[in-house]
Amino acid sequence: MSATKTVAVRLNGRDRNIDIGHTVLTLLAELDLQPGMVVVELNREILERERYADIEVNDGDSFELVHFVGGG
């Protein structure tokens, strides 16, 4: 077992281990993403931006982080 405390999450289809104790807001900061430019879906539920700071990242969470791109 690793000594560092991490949680295993799925981020945009990829498995990642991140430090324990993140909220959605600090996770976005860690990923260098501006909260206002991202929409977060956590375990198939869309999170309102006001909740990012309150929601803790748990082991097994699955995130989809989406944004607008060019399209027709």
Q: Do β-strands 14-19 and 39-42 pair in parallel, antiparallel, or remain unpaired? A: unpaired
CA–CA dist 3, 17 (Å, integer):
13
Based on CB atoms, which residue is closest to other proteins, 13 or 60? 13
Torsion over CA: 11, 28, 6, 44 (sign): negative
Please identify which residue in 12, 17, 43, 58 interacts with other proteins, judged by CB under 8 A: 12
The three-state secondary structure class of 41 is strand
Q: Which stretch binds other proteins (CB under 8 A): 2-10, 17-25, 26-34, 50-58?
A: 26-34
Please identify which residue in 7, 25, 29, 33 interacts with other proteins, judged by CB under 8 A: 33
Residues that bind other proteins (CB under 8 A): 11-14, 31-34, 37-39, 41, 46, 48-49, 64-72
